[in-house]
Each structure stands twice: as C-alpha cells, then as structure tokens.
A and B are shown apart, each in its own frame.
Chain A
Amino acid sequence: MTIAPERTAIYEGSRIPKRVPTILDVPPELVATDDILQVNFGPNHPSTHGVLRLIVDLDGEQVVGVDAVIGYLHTGFEKNMEQKTWWKAITYPERIDYVGYQNNELTFVLAIEKLLAIAIPEKAIWMRMLLCELNRIHSHLVYLGTSALELGAISMFWYTFREREMILDLSEMVAGARMHTRYFQVGGLAEDIPSGFFPECRTFVEWMPKALDDYLGLLDRNQIWLERTKGIGLLSADDAIALGQSGPIARASGIDWDLRRDDPYLAYDRVDFKVPVYPGGDVYDRYRVRMDEMAESTRIVRQCLDKLERLEGKPWIADDRKVVLPPREELHTSMESLIHHFKIVTEGYRVPEGEVYVAVESPRGESGCYVVSDGGPRPWRVHFRAPSFVALEATATCMHDALIADMVAVIGSLDAVMGDTDR
C-alpha cells in the first residue's frame, strides 16, 4: 500500500515577492483578465488562529495574491510596561505570547537579571528550564491539535488537549495558576517547588512518549494528512534566513540552528538533547520538527527532574534584599525585612542604567527582549522581538502556487499566536 504522495521538491532561487516582501501581488497578465476574486479571509475565522486577516486574490481555486493584515489584537503591552515597576511588569510578557507564556516570561526576567548582574541559584535555573520545556510541549500540542483540526482531523484535538491538560495541572500545582503563572521572579522563583510535584511530573514524562506514538499513528500514516501537508507552503533555507525565520520553521527548511544549543542560556549546555532538522521546507516537515521537539523536550524534563530531586531543600531564590522580597516569616520579627518588603512592593527596585537584548528559543523561535533602563524603578523602554510577527512575514512567500485549501495548512504550520504578533 502506498500512502506517501509525490512530494514537490524545494525550489531554487528566491520566491520572496519583489515589490513588497510581505505582499504577493497579482501578476499583471491576470489583472487584465478581470477574473480575479478578492476575498477577505478573517479576521474572524476559526482557522486563522485568532484575528489574522488575509486579503486573498483568487483565480478559481488558485491563490494569486496575498496580503496579511495584522493589528486586531494590539493592546499596547510595551507602552503599558513603561508605566509599571519592573517587578509588576513581569506579568505582561506571558500575556503577549499566551501559548508560549513561560518562555516569554523568561526572556524578560533574564533581561532584568542581565542588567542587575544578579546570580540565581542552581535550583531556580533547573526549574526554569523544566517549566520552559513543559511549556514548549504545551505550545506544540496546541499547534498540533489546532492545525490537524483545521485539516479535518478532529480527534487529534481531543488527544492533544488531554496531554495539555496534564501540563496545565502541573503548572497549577507549582504556581497556583494554570496559565500565566508569573512563577519566575527576578533572582529565582516565586515559591519553592511543592514536594508532590516530582511524582506527578514523572508520571507525565513516562506518559508523554506513548502519547507521541499515538499521534504518529493517527497522522503519519493518514493519507489525507500526508497529501494536505507534503510539498505545501515551501520555504527555502535562504529565503527563511532573509525573512528572519527562526525556530521550527527555520529548522524545517534545513537550517541547523537552535539557540538552546548554539547560544546556551540557563543550563542547556548541561543537558543532553538533539536538535531536529529536516530539509523539506514544507508544512509536513514543520510538523515533524515539532513532533521531534516534543520528544526531546520530554527528555530534557526528565534530566531536570533528576537534577532537581537532588536539590531538594536548597534555596530557590537569590538572597539579595534590595531586589528579592524577604521571606514571609521574617516580616513579623525583623524591622529591616519589613522595610525592604514595603520598599520593593511600593517603589520597586532600581535597575542599573543600560540597554540589553536577550533572546531565548521559544516554541516559535527566537523570542527576544530589548530593555532600556534609566536607573529608575521602571523600564524606560521594553520591546519584544515576537517570533509570530516575523513568521507571518513569510505568509506571502509560502503561499506561492497555493490553493485556497492549502492556505489553512500553511497558516497553521507557521504557528503564529496573534497576541504575540500584535502585542
């Protein structure tokens, strides 16, 4: 039985539109035929992953022109953060990329820590890494569930959300919130890890490889899925770099690049994991990269657990009273602690003057945070390099020669979170 359809090979040269790199123009000879139908795809359409609007020019079923319009979810996070003290602003980044929240929070916290030049305890480093990897699995599960759903594989959605639920339960156990945990503090973690977390997390780590096998069984030998994804939405390596693509999109185009390995932060240089790279540059390879990444993330979580179990009883936050809240019990006995607590909560801590750019490998690629401080208790400027924003720039290039039905597959594979795009 052959189930693998013939696959379009990756193209030579560049397909980035010439006039404007992000707009696919209708060819002039087609404009002359006066037979082009312009359709608004979104902003309110279930398969645009939120409020993405595509203005599509159609010649029959063939997409001949695309213009992506964004901004429907713009909420001015960056301006808002300038009005908050540093530690109050930590709640914002999570809500920017609300699927890869933990990684976004990490970017901002790492940026503040870089300016403060504060060292964080070992336990916090490993726990941050563990939660970021759980979050990566969570994000890829949402990708897998929704993009399979959009192509008609409804049952995938229920399976992936079953595992996603397990991750959210773990988050709730650690931080009290299912999403948007605000668990990373400057200097470490907000709370110690509850002891019941380890067995629960172990259960998940044991379960996850089985779940991945299930997904593979459901999708990878499914002829509809293969035909809808193979050779669709092509993006060559050179075009991907020119368009600033990173993360799974770049790795599916054959670019062997992962910030966790190539520019290690936290303790990624002390864990063992592989970086999946596929050369096809199509929707199918983006799916395979994310599937492999989930397996690798599970391995990293397991190594973090091994390490963290040995660190039980160790401090989880740096002992720097100018920046870190004093332990709760000291407030009743120590006047200095009470003063520090009061000052940090009302006025906030001061961060030395300077500008830094910190980038981490979020589930969507390079998630960067640029921060300027004037030495006061509030950020002067915060800017996020949003991987979804950049991913959507590739829409026009990927839509080359696409049919209208492929459009849904392509958008799903770019995995843009509109909160991240519009900020």
Chain B
Amino acid sequence: MNWNEIPGFVEVKSAHGETTVVVERERIRDACSYARDELGFNFLADIVATDYLHWGGKGVSGYIGTASGRDLNLPMTQGLQVQPQPKPWRFSVSYHLLALREGAPRVRLQVWLEDGEPVPSVISVWPTADWHERELFDLMGIRFEGHPNLVRILLEDDWEGHPLRKDYPIGGEPVRFSDAE
C-alpha cells in the first residue's frame, strides 16, 4: 500500500508485523479521511495516547507518593539492560484503523506532540472518536481541537491532574483537613 500519499505523511515504520504511519499533528484529520475514503480503512478501532516522559530513564514507571512529595520507588526499580530508542516528543497519539474486508488489514496512524499542543479531533470522520478523545483528555490531558464536548468522562469533573501521565504521583492521595492546614 502506498502510504506516502497520506496527507501530512512523515514516515512509515514496520515492527512486530504491524505498520505504523507517522503523520503531522495538524493534518491528522485529513490523514484519517484519506485513510477511510481512499485506502478503505473504514473502522476506527481505538485511539490511545502514551506519555514518554523520562523514557529510558531509571525507575520511571515507579513514582510513588510520600509525605514529602514524590520519590522513586527504589526497591522495585531496575535499570534497563539496553537503552530504548529515544522518542522525539513527549506524547504519542495512535489511531488504530481496521479495514472490514478480506485479510483484515490494520494500520496505526501516529502523531507526536508536546504537552499543551492540540490535536485536531476526528469526530467528523468517525463519530466513535467522541468518547475515545474524551478519555484521552481526561486521563492524559491531551486537547482535541474541534471536539464539541471535551469534558472529563471517567473521572469526576473537578478532578485535578491527568492520572495516566508519568509525572502523576501514585500511592499518595490528597488528605483534606490535615493538621498542616
């Protein structure tokens, strides 16, 4: 398949039998319409974001909340035997597309962004993107431009922070009416 024709095409990667097409963040909506109308990927299975903050660092996946703030979770932390490939930006947003036809071809469209940069919403291409985008906004703090109803979906409306980010403290929980106040 000719991936270079996709609007905003940056590069195409193939690993573990899966194809990843990286596209420019601003053109993801055009890329999705193109994939749906011209390449026949008519089914949006999933949208998922990943936070690569401190990727390849030591013990990043083990922040733990302590009384004095955050600390590395030392007992369970091991260094990596091999440094992973560095990532160009902090967040990736992946769109898993599927074509409902013979052979069930799949492709992953991927955009990269820094904290605070908006991604165009693809609701106009696939209505199913509605809740997926709200979930990513809620848990990862990614803004989708043009989403008609971008509010929290899983957490309550007044929740602070975005839990799936790597700098979100775990293990601790804010205590109301503590002695310190």
Interface residues of A, Cβ cutoff 8 Å to B: 16, 19-23, 70-71, 74, 76, 78-79, 82-83, 114-115, 117, 241-244, 246, 255, 257, 259, 262-263, 347, 350, 353-357, 359, 366, 368, 370, 372, 374-381, 383, 385, 389-390, 392-393, 422-423
Contacts and interface: CB of A to CB of B under 8 A. Distances in A.
A366 B97 CA distance: 12
B82 interface: yes
Contacts of A19: 148
A167 to B, nearest CB: 29
B27 to A, nearest CB: 22
A20 B81 CA distance: 47
B16 A354 contact: yes
DSSP majority for the B interface?
loop
B48 A71 contact: no
Contacts of B155: 71, 74
A376 B78 contact: yes
Interface of B: 15-18, 20, 42-46, 48, 50-51, 55-56, 61-62, 73, 76, 78, 80-82, 84-85, 94, 96, 98, 100, 102-104, 106, 108, 123, 126-128, 130-131, 135, 139, 148-149, 152-156, 163-164, 168, 170
A396 B164 CA distance: 28
B148 A20 contact: yes
A68 B127 CA distance: 15
A400 to B, nearest CB: 14
B93 to A, nearest CB: 11
A263 B45 contact: no
A374 B57 CA distance: 10
Contact of B164 (A78, A115, A355, A356): A78
A377 B152 CA distance: 32
Given A20-B130, A70-B153, A383-B46, A370 B94 contact: yes
Contacts of A357: 18, 45-46, 94, 96, 106, 108
